[in-house]
Amino acid sequence: MEYFLNQGHSFSVPTTVAEHLLGIASHDQLKVLLYLLCYSDRHLTTEQIAQNCKVLPSSVEEAIVFWQNVNILNNVQPAVKTTISPQEPSPAPAAVIGTPAVTVPGVTAAPAEPPVQPKPAETSDAKLQASSSNFSIMPSEIADRIQNNRNLAELFHFVEKAAGKPLTMTEQKSFIWMTEYLGLGADLLMMLAAFCIQSNCFQVRYMEKIAMEWQERGIVTHTQAEGDISRRASARSFTGEIVKMMEMDRRPTEKMQQAIDEWQQAGLSLELIRHAYEKSLNNKNGKFSFYYLNGILQRWISSGIRTIEAAEKDDAAFRASYEQEQAAVAGGTAARDSASSIDMSDVAKLINRF
């Protein structure tokens, strides 16, 4: 099928937009870009763009930040009146100074001299905000920070390349909050983002939870961060095996995860946990109860049981003790019956009279 363009006023659109960004940009972002390209020779205000594109002023600012981050727009200033000119994407920046040695598929971050770490925020202050949800920042302020803060710009570039997509405004705001409010360095946040991307949990809430823990525990060096990430990676692998073993159709709840972490910290093997799992199914007629299983494992932990052989011996001793108790109870009942002063034959005769 052939299409013909009606002649008239026209303008060019960077090829990258059509080839790579149509599936990423929102409708509002595309409308704002087309309007800016059409009137690139004019001084435009946010209100003018919003009115003509039928979008909110905040959507205009967010769109400008988006197109600037993907190198389609440049020369954007926070001022209301500004001239915006399009350009083709510029080459990727040079190697990032202070990029941590974290492996991400398709991303090579060479280690370098560790940068000067910013002073972490006071713990008492950090407790005032548990997340970036109450952190207020305008898109124009984000653009200003990217332009004037080289470390932040390098952080965004690294994370976008590792994630394979431009950062959303919410994600940008989160990284700024972790940098400015928690006082974590850009290099540590690169390591955190790489770990989350590799673990398929690149989510603002999850990253901020880890960042809060780092701030509270005073983790400010590469070595400390690498140690914590290794521990978390090991825990996620252990949890994954547990979920697979028990055929759970969802991630463990917070209380379940605490119990699983206790099993791992106590040194319980997956084989021993499987033995307890099968034991719990047999005792519950095939119905699985995580908390019944945890009760078995907690008893083994307190008793120092770490092998299947020790667990079987403990079970045998428990059964023998239980049978002795039952025998003693039965014997006591028989003795009491024999020692009774009531003649049961007389009782039977009395009942028969009625």
- Segment 111-134 shows an average pLDDT of 55
Instruction: Say yes or no: 77 and 177 in one domain.
Output: no
pLDDT of residue 103 exceeding 80, the answer is no
Residue 20 maps to a domain? yes
Written in H, E and C, the secondary structure of the chain is CCCCCCCCCCCCCCHHHHHHHCCCCCHHHHHHHHHHHHCCCCCECHHHHHHHHCCCHHHHHHHHHHHHHCCCEECCCCCCCECCEECCCCCCCCCCCCCCCCCECCECCCCCCCCCCCCCCCHHHHCCCCCHHHCCCCHHHHHHHHHHCHHHHHHHHHHHHHHCCCCCHHHHHHHHHHHHCCCCCHHHHHHHHHHHHHCCCCCHHHHHHHHHHHHHHCCCCHHHHHHHHHHHHHHHHHHHHHHHHCCCCCCCCHHHHHHHHHHHHCCCCHHHHHHHHHHHHHHCCCCCCHHHHHHHHHHHHHHCCCCHHHHHHHHHHHHHHHHHHHHHHHHHHHHHHHCCCCCHHHHHHHHHHC
- How many structural domains are present in the chain? 3
Instruction: Say yes or no: 262 and 309 in one domain.
Output: yes
Question: Of 189, 216, 237, which one is at a domain's C-terminal end?
Answer: 237
- Name which of 228, 225, 252, 231 is nearest 240 in CA terms: 252
Instruction: Say yes or no: 286 and 192 in one domain.
Output: no
Confidence of residue 65 (pLDDT cuts 50, 70, 90): confident
d(CA 46, CA 337): 96
Instruction: Say yes or no: 198 and 264 in one domain.
Output: no
Instruction: Say yes or no: 208 and 132 in one domain.
Output: yes
pLDDT of residue 37 exceeding 70, the answer is yes
Instruction: Say yes or no: 294 and 347 in one domain.
Output: yes
pLDDT tens digits for 295-344? 999 999 999 999 999 999 988 888 888 888 887 777 666 556 555 555 65
Instruction: Say yes or no: 225 and 273 in one domain.
Output: no
Give the CA angle between residues 135, 140, 146 to the nearest 5°: 85
Instruction: Say yes or no: 352 and 284 in one domain.
Output: yes
pLDDT of residue 76 exceeding 60, the answer is no
Residue 142 maps to a domain? yes
Instruction: Say yes or no: 130 and 217 in one domain.
Output: yes
pLDDT tens digits for 223-280? 999 999 988 888 888 888 888 888 887 878 888 988 998 998 899 998 999 999 988 8
Residue 5 maps to a domain? no
Cβ 192 vs Cβ 207: under 8 Å:
yes
Instruction: Say yes or no: 165 and 71 in one domain.
Output: no
- Segment 56-62 shows an average pLDDT of 84
Question: Of 177, 209, 237, which one is at a domain's C-terminal end?
Answer: 237
Instruction: Say yes or no: 269 and 223 in one domain.
Output: no
Residue 105 maps to a domain? no
Distances (CA, A) of 119 to 51, 84, 179, 183, 226: 44, 37, 10, 6, 19
Residue 130 maps to a domain? yes
pLDDT tens digits for 189-223? 999 999 999 888 899 999 999 999 999 999 999 99
Cβ 293 vs Cβ 286: under 8 Å:
no
Q: Which residue has better confidence, 80 or 328?
A: 328
pTM: 0.49
Question: In terms of residue numbers, what domain contains 41?
Answer: 15-86
Percentage above 90 pLDDT, the chain: 30
What CATH number does the domain containing 67 carry? 1.10.10.10
Question: Of 86, 115, 140, which one is at a domain's C-terminal end?
Answer: 86
Residue 186 maps to a domain? yes
Residue 10 maps to a domain? no
